[in-house]
């Protein structure tokens, strides 16, 4: 792995860490099926969107960031959900990409 990739990943880590917190800790607040659905549909995507907007405004658009966001969710499926939540890997990747675009073009100073 080249130095530029290491530097890129090091810049991503704080943002990915916040997203991982949303993906792994928000479900702990759920008590029943209805609250898990609220977490899947609103809690986690909102966390991803906000962090991605900040990343996009500070760093720029990076498709690798969005792909890693989707991959971070895969172990959460095994821990908190079932295989029917697998589609959310694509949804969360898209939400992250949307946030990066918004951050880059709307909120960039």
Query: Against a cut of 0.85, is the pTM above it?
Result: yes
pLDDT tens-digit profile of 9-22?
A: 999 999 999 999 99
pLDDT of residue 5: 80
Going from N- to C-terminal start, the domains of the chain cover 3-105
Please say whether the beta carbons of 17 and 57 come within 8 A. Answer: no
Query: Cβ(91)–Cβ(55) under 8 Å?
Result: no
Q: Please give the full DSSP string across 60-103, using - where no structure is assigned.
A: ---HHHHHHHHHHHHHHHHHHS-GGGGHHHHHHHHHHHHHHHHH
């Amino acid at each position: 792995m080249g130095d530029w990739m290491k530097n890129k990943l090091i810049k991503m880590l704080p943002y990915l860490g916040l997203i991982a917190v949303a993906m792994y800790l928000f479900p702990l607040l759920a008590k029943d099926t209805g609250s898990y659905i609220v977490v899947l549909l609103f809690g986690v995507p909102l966390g991803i969107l906000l962090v991605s907007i900040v990343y996009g405004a500070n760093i720029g658009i990076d498709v690798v960031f969005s792909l890693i966001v989707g991959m971070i969710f895969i172990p959460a499926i095994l821990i908190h959900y079932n295989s029917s939540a697998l589609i959310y890997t694509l949804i969360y990747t898209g939400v992250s990409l949307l946030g990066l675009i918004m951050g880059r073009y709307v909120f960039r100073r």
